[in-house]
Amino acid sequence: MADIFVERLSGLSVGERMVEVVERKGLGHPDSICDAIMEEISLALSREYMKQFGVILHHNIDKGLLVAGEVERKFGGGRVVEPMRLIFGDRATFKLNDIAIPVNDIVIDTAKQWLRDNLRFINPDEHVKYQVELRPASAELQDIFNRGNGGFVANDTSAAVGYAPFTDTESVVLETEMYLNSKGFKEQFPETGEDIKVMGYRQGRKLMLTIAIPFLDRYIANEYTYFDKKSAVSRTINDFVLTKCSNFDKVDIFVNTLDKEGRGLGGMYLSVLGTSAEDADSGEVGRGNRVNGIIALNRPSAAEAAAGKNAVSHVGKIYNILTHRMAHTIYESVDGIKEIYVWLASQIGSPVSEPVLASAQVLLEHRASGSSISRKIKEIIDKELSEIDGFCKELLQGKYPVC
């Protein structure tokens, strides 16, 4: 493995800078749906490969598209005119030693189960069509899984970066969406859908949150009902957010800012199924949240989408998640660190446990000892890499969310 480099940063942390922008796409956002379903399919295929052959075989289910359908909204409940279409792409192993794997069945069954479990108003048998475009992989990439040399090698040349800690803005944005899609909130406000988006803008110590949240038309009898329910939801959001914002001087919250009274159905954010994929917005793997759950525009990020990639050789997943875990572990374990970034880069064909580049950038608290901290950082990164097989097993168990 290459040497582990530790670079000392100067200047302000992200949370201390004048401007910060953070976004979170919620559970029912079309991009989030794609990421989550493709990840579940990868885990399901991995379980089947282990059951049949005792090893994970080559697959990457990381190319997916959710094509928006068409609906007719109506006070008291609209209808689906044209179902959404979910397209699954890239590569999988369909057969080994004359044993066939029902890949297409696993893909569709897994997608339907995720929809049942997570989106209350979607009937996966009626509201979605499925198109499986998976194909066998190249011989060279398949051979990675047959070499049996005691550890997998990287199936791509890739790089990733993770960081810690979250800023106050990042935490508020993440926690707000998770609250709005929580079981308790949905029990209190069943009329709200899952396609929630939270955008946070911070300027100095002033925070502005712009929130989009659909209301199910089956619960809305008329325009008055909509704006009455929206007011109740807005008050509850405001109460929740203020409990999380003690470090801000001012917090402004805006909900469904396209709304306009007096314009009927055209002036309200109504939904038949609770997701804009019903007719307004298609989704794609890799356009949603990063593996730590947010899209933080002030932070460096990897270009790779982690969702759907196999968990034993695809560094686009392994390093993406591992760098964030490393950064968090270092921040929690080593005193004197204000902010840290961890970088890993692979070279195709090299062992996953031996990146060609391992580096950390660290911003220290005032008077912290740089040499001592540098040594501890290197020790933690080295230890995490030496235990990467165990980490990959945790990925296979779905321990770490990817969106």
pTM: 0.94
Q: What is the pLDDT of residues 277-330, one digit of tens each?
A: 999 999 999 999 999 999 999 999 988 899 999 999 899 999 999 999 999 999
Nearest in space to 317 (alpha carbons), one of 39, 56, 93: 39
Q: Which residues of the chain have pLDDT under 70?
A: 1-2, 138-151
C-alpha atoms less than 13 angstroms from C-alpha of 385 in its C-beta half-sphere: 25
Residue 138 has what pLDDT? 63
Domain 15-25+167-280 of CATH type 3.30.300.340: yes
Q: DSSP assignment, residue 15? A: G
Burial 141-165 (b: 16+ CB within 10 A, else e): bbebbeeeeeebbbbbebbbbbbbb
Q: Give the residue from 346, 304, 326, 278 showing the smallest Cα distance to 128.
A: 278
Burial class (CB in 10 A: 0-12, 13-18, 19+), 9: middle
Strand partners, 67: 85
> In this structure, which amino acid lies at residue 237?
I
- Per-residue pLDDT at 38: 97
Q: In a 10 Å sphere around its CB, with 0-12 CB exposed, 13-18 middle and 19+ buried, how is residue 399 labelled?
A: exposed
Quote the pLDDT of residue 155. 85
**CA 332 – CA 183 distance, rounded (Å):** 30
Are 309 and 60 in contact by the 8 Å Cβ rule? The answer is yes
Cα–Cα distances in angstroms (integers) from residue 77 to residues 20, 83, 213, 219, 273, in the given order? 40, 16, 17, 7, 10
Please name the amino acid found at residue 51. Answer: K
Which pLDDT value is given to residue 143?
A: 60
Dihedral in degrees, nearest 10, Cα atoms 154, 158, 163, 167: -130
Domain residue limits, the chain = 15-25+167-280
How far apart CA 114 and CA 283 sit, in angstroms, is 16
Residue 231 burial by Cβ neighbours in a 10 Å radius (0-12, 13-18, 19+): exposed
CB-CB neighbours of 259 under 10 Å: 14
User: DSSP for 31-96?
Assistant: HHHHHHHHHHHHHHHHHHHHHHHSSPPPEEEEEEEEE--EEE--TT--EEEE-EEEEEEEEE--EE
Q: What is the pLDDT of residue 156?
A: 87
pLDDT of amino acid 371? 83
**pLDDT at res. 2:** 60
What's residue 269's pLDDT? 98
- Residues 344 and 353: beta-carbon distance below 8 Å: no
